Amino acid sequence: MRSIFQNAASVSVLTFASRILGVFRDALIAMIFGTSAQSDAFFVAFRPFDLLRKMFSDGILSISFVPVFSRYLENKKKDQAIAMFLSALFLLSVGGVLVVVVGIIFAPVLVKIIAPGFVTGSYAHGLTIILLKIMLPYLVTILVIALCMGLLNSLGNFSVPAATPIVLNLVVILVAFFFSSYFDPPVLGLALGVTLGGIAQLALQIPFLIRHGMIDLSCFTWLHPGVVRIGKTMIPCMVGAASYQINIMVAGFFASQLSQGSVSFLYYADRLVQFPLALFAVSFSTVFLPSLSRRAALGKRDEVSAIFTKGAMLVFFVTIPAMAGMMALDVPIVRFLFKQGAFDAAAVRYTAECLFYLVLGLWAHTGTRLFVTLHFSLSSVRLPFVAGLISIVLNFCLSWLLMGIMGFKGLALSVSIASMAGFGVLFIYSAGTLSRKPLIVSACRALFLSVIMFFLVRWAAGLILTEESGKWVLGAGLLACILLGVVFFLLAGILTASPEIKMIKKILNKEQSQ
């Protein structure tokens, strides 16, 4: 159990570094492009690739690939595991290239689908087509990178896959800052940076694949039975594991029909929500999946349930107060990170409103990711598929309804409500898989303490932070408010004898004694 948390901590640290760079990248984009037609066009064109990256790297490919690959390793069939990897690598590469060619030819049709609000022949419409074509080669690297990440995770190498997003962010930042001015319009350089970043990510992983002996061409087969099994579960995995990303993309479709900047407001809010989501849910899920899959393959379901319950309790213990803190500090966070250059006060206000409603469902986004991982490690596909489908359909209906009432804020709220519904289905029908009572008690305790913390932090922010606060004063005030919330929550957890605090102490004490 301790090794799981150590690996999760390692992944979290690298993910934290990646998210910091991601926020810096988005702050740079906000400074250069603001919430203009150029930024809207870029975010619309980038959204499908961002969706695919999250689905394949964090979701469907890893969840489909890892259990099957782990079973081959547990059964001492490494040659079959290598053959399955090479077969999947070949098929994904060929399929990706074909999709890129078709995408370039039919780019205008694709833009009409992903941005129905962009009028044909308009500046935003034409620019989106060009940006889409530039970034299409990135699709191939997304597929191959995701496969390599799943393989390395199965072999116990969590650091390299977790570090690859850092490479992407660094390349995009460098290209945007130093070379975008050489393009007309400058946003074309940003799109090129995404494609180059994908190539750099892939190059980082190749030496480690060779070191693990995975590039053994003597094991190659065109269509391995394991790949066939993965293919059969791919669509259910897509719906189950990536419902949040799909819902965000749908919200972006609707946002393209609203006033200029709506797509950007939603994008920046989502980027901030992705920070705790990736830091806690994705990090733990990445480490959980191989470990739970190996135990499930050996028939140790009691161990699966016990490990998952303790891990989920800890994740909710940090996610729920993080949600409350972001809601309490929505405006100051956005103002500190993005208000500069072309990103004005109005953009801060609208993005903060999106953030408030989107982060409201953070606990559900996180819970869905964890429970989907549990079910797929047990080779249970049906329930996550049904829960994801309910979430996607509900989000589509609510987006159409709430957009007319609340505008872009309604789109953010619809995503949160849909996530809550999907998580509810997963949780209710998981009774036979794990004991739900400890999770309910743990989540309710964290929620109670977080509500108090919300009002405390909100009150402190009102005293310390003002509209006139400079960048450094704002940053120091934000840090003070965050520390106040963390100290209060931890002290309250100790006073209420929180079992999560005891688990953390136990893990730390064991590490110190080694």
**Tens of pLDDT along 58-93?**
555 666 777 777 777 777 677 888 888 888 889 889
pLDDT at 484 (0 to 100) = 94
Quick check: 462 pLDDT over 60? Answer: yes
In angstroms, the CA 113 to CA 102 distance is 15
In 119-193 the beta strands, taken as DSSP E runs, fall at none
Q: How large is the average pLDDT for residues 365-373?
A: 84
In angstroms, the CA 441 to CA 329 distance is 27
Quick check: 498 pLDDT over 70? Answer: yes
Per-residue confidence band for 212, with pLDDT thresholds at 50, 70 and 90: confident
Q: 3-state class of 431 per DSSP? A: coil
In angstroms, the CA 445 to CA 321 distance is 11
DSSP-derived secondary structure letter, 108: H
Place of tokens 């597929």: 143
In angstroms, the CA 92 to CA 182 distance is 34
Mean pLDDT value across the chain: 83
pLDDT at 378 (0 to 100) = 73
Per-residue confidence band for 451, with pLDDT thresholds at 50, 70 and 90: very high
In angstroms, the CA 80 to CA 65 distance is 13
CB 253 within 8 A of CB 111: no
Work out how many domains the chain is built from and give that number: 1
Between 341 and 107, where is the model more confident? 107
pLDDT at 465 (0 to 100) = 80
Q: How large is the average pLDDT for residues 144-164?
A: 82
In angstroms, the CA 282 to CA 58 distance is 7
The contacts of residue 435 (CB under 8 Å, 6+ apart) are 305, 309
Percentage of the chain exceeding pLDDT 70: 89
In angstroms, the CA 375 to CA 382 distance is 9
Q: H/E element holding 196?
A: helix 187-211
In angstroms, the CA 58 to CA 411 distance is 24
Full-model pTM: 0.74
Between 357 and 306, where is the model more confident? 357
Give whichever of 137-141, 160-164, 252-256 has the largest mean pLDDT: 137-141
pLDDT at 58 (0 to 100) = 56
Place of tokens 């098929």: 91
Percentage of the chain exceeding pLDDT 90: 24
In angstroms, the CA 192 to CA 178 distance is 13
Task: Return the half-sphere exposure (C-beta side, CA atoms, 13 A cut-off) of residue 317.
Answer: 22
pLDDT at 352 (0 to 100) = 92
pLDDT at 101 (0 to 100) = 93
Give whichever of 22-26, 214-218, 244-248, 409-413 has the largest mean pLDDT: 409-413
Q: How distant, in Å, are the alpha carbons of 149, 202, 431, 480 from that of 87? A: 16, 18, 37, 53
In 3D, which of 353, 390, 341 has the Cα closest to residue 35? 341
Between 9 and 363, where is the model more confident? 363
Q: Which domain, by its residues, includes 424?
A: 2-513
pLDDT at 512 (0 to 100) = 46
CB 296 within 8 A of CB 377: yes
Quick check: 513 pLDDT over 60? Answer: no
CB 1 within 8 A of CB 307: yes
- Amino acid code (one letter) for 184: D
CB 509 within 8 A of CB 473: no
Cis before 165? omega within 30:
no
Q: How large is the average pLDDT for residues 127-141?
A: 92
The contacts of residue 235 (CB under 8 Å, 6+ apart) are none
Per-residue pLDDT reduced to its tens digit, 381-401: 788 889 989 999 999 999 999
In angstroms, the CA 47 to CA 27 distance is 17
